[in-house]
Amino acid sequence: MKANSIQIWALSAALVASACSSNLEPGPSQATAPVVAEVNGAPITLDEIDQRIAGDLYEVRSQALQERIIEIVLETAAARQGVTEEELIEAKARELGPVSDEDVAAFFEQNRARMRPDETLESVGPEIRSFLEQNQQRAAVDALRDAATVAILLDPPRLEVADDGPSRGPADAAVTIIEFSDYQCPFCSRAEPIIAEVLELYPEDVRLVFRHFPIDSIHPRARPASIAAVCAEEQGKFWEFHEMVFENQQNLSDQAIGGFADTLQLDRAAFDSCLASEEAAARVEADLAAGKAAGTSGTPAFFVNGILLSGARPVPDFVDLIDAELDRLEGGS
């Protein structure tokens, strides 16, 4: 079996956060920020660059921090027991029990669809066993880390993002999630049930604010849908219209949008007048500018009390961050 088969299995267990993205113009920056380059006389400031890499820089620092934490945990635990770090890990892995033939066979069956037709249990079994044993060693390291007293003091970057837009949840909620979304983005559609579940989990503590971020270069009907949603909001039917748009994401023609308005029994004369107004278009443009200013380059993008979660993230990612925010606020920090 080729090595990349094992890599595919390993990657299948990890989350790949997905988002609709496009090259966007940088948002406005502070005039007092140092200028680090000029293009045809137009300045690029350090604030613009730092804003673009803030999330990535935090991820890199977090990864390096976790690696250093594990190094210290292994060093101290091994020294305390008078063994090498390798011996410590092997001993901890043995506590989890050996990898059995049944484990290997079960893994083979679960991943058969990812294998080549000519691969059999007999031919790939040894590599599966080795992979599972490596997983046990990783689990052993995780167990040692979990048993240690660790306090993470590295704060994620937190941005000021205005909560201008239709919302769900208590106005005084401790945690506000500001979502920038594109009505033609498939990942935004996938995020809808995730956010709904998050709101159900925290009915008193979380508020969602929706802001428009149409990416015109790849989704030409997203902006008209956003303008129409603004017009539905004027008649108190934003969320109903919003849900209908995502449910019919593959057809956002003018005729379809008009049909949504009729289904919701909106005042069509007022709706059509709003669609043609500069005010509705300006509202969408203001949301887009706010997203760019916050460093958003793809959708969906979520700012949880100002902390960016980018892409169609699973519920546990939101839960971890929301719980951390609630703990921070309860602690008065």
> Would you state the pLDDT for residue 23?
55
Angstrom distances, CA of residue 29 to CA of 173, 205, 284, 293, 308: 30, 32, 20, 7, 18
**Per the domain annotation, does 14 fall within a domain?**
no
**Per the domain annotation, does 121 fall within a domain?**
yes
Decide if pLDDT at 126 tops 60: yes
- CATH code at position 228: 3.40.30.10
Beta partners for residue 180, in sequence order: 211, 301
Residues in the chain, how many?
Answer: 333
The pLDDT tens digits of the residues spanning 269-289 come to: 999 999 999 999 999 999 999
Number of domains in the chain: 2
Decide if pLDDT at 10 tops 70: no
Decide if pLDDT at 11 tops 80: no
**Per the domain annotation, does 20 fall within a domain?**
no
Decide if pLDDT at 290 tops 50: yes
Q: Which of the 8 DSSP states describes residue 332?
A: T
> Would you state the pLDDT for residue 230?
98
Q: Which of the 8 DSSP states describes residue 165?
A: S
Both tokens of 271, joined, read 């709706």
* Residue tagged 């939101």 (tokens): 318
Same-domain pairing of 91 and 183: no
- CA quadruple 47, 52, 57, 59: dihedral sign: positive
The pLDDT tens digits of the residues spanning 131-150 come to: 999 999 999 999 999 999 99
Same-domain pairing of 73 and 98: yes
**Per the domain annotation, does 116 fall within a domain?**
yes
Decide if pLDDT at 182 tops 90: yes
3-state DSSP of 95-157: HCCCCCHHHHHHHHHHCHHHCCCCCCHHHHHHHHHHHHHHHHHHHHHHHHHHHCCCCCCCCCC
> Would you state the pLDDT for residue 4?
39
Please tell me whether the overall predicted TM-score, pTM, comes out greater than 0.75 for this model.
Answer: no
Percent pLDDT > 70 in the chain is 90
Domain boundaries, position 51: 1-9+28-156
Same-domain pairing of 209 and 96: no
pLDDT bracket for residue 18 (50, 70, 90): low
For the chain, report the end-to-end CA distance as a whole number of angstroms.
53
- Taking all residues of the chain, what is their mean pLDDT, rounded to a whole number? 89
Non-local CB neighbours of 47 within 8 Å, separated by 6+ positions: 29, 30, 33
- Residue ending a domain, among 156, 179, 195, is 156
The pLDDT tens digits of the residues spanning 53-107 come to: 766 777 788 889 999 999 999 999 999 999 999 999 999 999 989 999 999 999 9
Identity of the residue numbered 74 = L
